[in-house]
A = this chain, B = another copy of it.
Amino acid sequence: MVRWEPGAAGRLREAAMELYVERGYEQTTVAEIAQRAGVTARTFFRHYADKREVLFGGSETLEKALLEGLASAPAEAAPLAVVAAALDAAAGPLGRDHAYSRRRQSVVDANAELRERELIKMARLGAALAGGLRRRGVPDPAATLAAEAGIVVFRVAFHRWVEAPEPADLGRLMRETLTSLRAVTA
């Protein structure tokens, strides 16, 4: 029988989220996170650069998923269809833990610095998508417009998903939101 044995990174993430929700992000120290996770501060810093990183460490995974989805689209696909494939690929890992995402969002929403960090993250993802489209031969402004339209869909769909108390299918919400965007711009 296999016991569920989360690694230190997962335990630290869970401990951090508990403390951020209980006390607030600003009031929580790295020492307290490490203590609650039952590890040393030194171990914390082996996994995360700082307490903010705990909330944003997943953005590289997200970017990777988006770019893999983008690469999986057929060569002849229109730019926005390529972006739709990228969103679909990202919805998988991103939509896995609704309860965690809801807690994370409440922490981010409560702190101006974290909200700004989230904007920067989304801007980076948009730039990565636009770069990926250009590498597929999509010229500008179409590459930037399709990528940024995709980020708008991503944000609106994710917001709807995280606002709902029950976990919906994030991929389906993204497809519905893309359809709404097409209707608005038709």
Contacts and interface: CB of A to CB of B under 8 A. Distances in A.
Interface stretch (A97-105, A149-157, A164-172): A149-157
Contact of A116 (B116, B142, B153): B116
Interface stretch (A30-38, A67-75, A177-185): A177-185
A149 B185 contact: yes
A7 interface: no
A156 B141 contact: yes
Interface residues of A, number: 26
Given A141-B156, A160-B141, A149 B116 contact: no
A186 interface: yes
B156 A144 contact: yes
A47 to B, nearest CB: 25
B184 A145 contact: yes
Contact of A145 (B79, B148, B181): B181
Contact of A142 (B79, B80, B146, B180): B180
A120 interface: yes
Nearest to A180: B141
A37 B39 CA distance: 57
A21 interface: no
A177 B143 CA distance: 12
Nearest to A122: B119
A123 interface: yes
Interface of A: 79-80, 116, 119-120, 123, 141-142, 144-146, 148-149, 152-153, 155-156, 160, 177, 180-186
5 contacts: A116-B116, A145-B180, A148-B152, A185-B185, A186-B186
